[in-house]
Amino acid sequence: MSGLKTAVLLAALSALLIAIGGLVGGQGGLLIAFGFALVMNVGSYWFSDKVVLRMYKAQPVGPGHRLHDMTARLAQRAGLPMPKVYVIPDMSPNAFATGRNPQHAAVAATEGIMRLLSDAELEGVMAHELAHIKNRDILIGTVAATIGAAITMLAHMAQFAAIFGGGRDRDGDGPNPIALLATAMLAPIAAALIQMAVSRSREFVADRVGAQIAGTPMGLAQALQRIEAAAKQIPMDANQATAHMFILSPLSGRGLGSLFSTHPPTQARVDALMRLRMGA
């Protein structure tokens, strides 16, 4: 069901892009915006692993290290190539996966999460991260980001056209400036809401697949609760652009802010994992 939801959300994002492209610049404007967004995000997709690992000063670990050996067992169970394994020198508990495909993947965990969690709980976390790799969620996120960026660029074009009276011919036909200005204001918000919903739906999928890889949902469910409680005591100095990558967002969001959150509420994730345990 979550996979279908992701497909529907991506279709909605694409429909929004087409509708705004037609309003602002026709097919030509749409293609230009999408082309720029594609180039920008493909570069990010191709090199994101190196950039984000360097950003958090992640250090590689090899055989004999607790995290490496645990990941090796889980990757074999999941039928995945062995990813590179890194430790982040940060006491806030968190972890993430990155890489453009299963053959070029990496997982990273903070020192804090390894100190906090038991082996069963840490296995649940690393299985979740391997699920992101298995499901190619980084590619899905890049597709959503590319469409969202194109929408934002078209919105800027709409704002420019509204201010300077563009888009109308000599007979006064063409987009209404007020409609253009409204589009410029609302389109990026709508795109961001859909993009965040895509991210949240992929977290539920990764939780479910991660529980299958680990063999039980209990370790991950307990880990999520412990990570959330500990992260409030030891917040992480994380870059907003990378918040979606972590198992729990290092950025807090409540009220309306939760609509723009990259992650579902922790309790909703735990409840879903408990339903898996009960076979619901």
Instruction: Identify the CATH number of the domain in which residue 204 sits.
Output: 3.30.2010.10
Task: Count the domains in the chain.
Answer: 1
Residues 221-248: what's their mean pLDDT? Answer: 90
Neighbours of 15 (CB within 10 A): 12
Tokens 């201010």 locate to 163
Contact 230, 173 (CB under 8 A): no
In a domain, 91, yes or no: yes
What does the pLDDT average to over 154-177? 60
Is residue 147 within 8 A of residue 17, CB to CB? The reply is yes
The answer to the question of residue 191 being in a domain is yes
Q: Note whether residue 173 is domain-resident.
A: no
Most confident of 35-44, 165-174, 205-214, 271-280: 205-214
Q: Is residue 101 part of a domain?
A: yes
Tell me if residue 121 is catalytic. Answer: no
In a domain, 25, yes or no: no
pLDDT above 60 (res 174): no
Q: Does 263 reside within a domain?
A: yes
Average confidence (pLDDT) over 169-179? 58
Percent of the chain with pLDDT over 70: 70
**Rounded to whole angstroms, what are the CA distances from 220 to 212, 232, 238?**
11, 18, 22
pLDDT in tens, 97-135: 998 889 999 999 999 999 999 999 999 999 999 999 999
- pTM attached to this predicted model: 0.78
Range of the domain at 191: 38-136+181-277
Catalytic residue among 111, 121, 123, 129: 129
In a domain, 216, yes or no: yes
Confidence at 237, pLDDT banded by 50, 70, 90:
confident
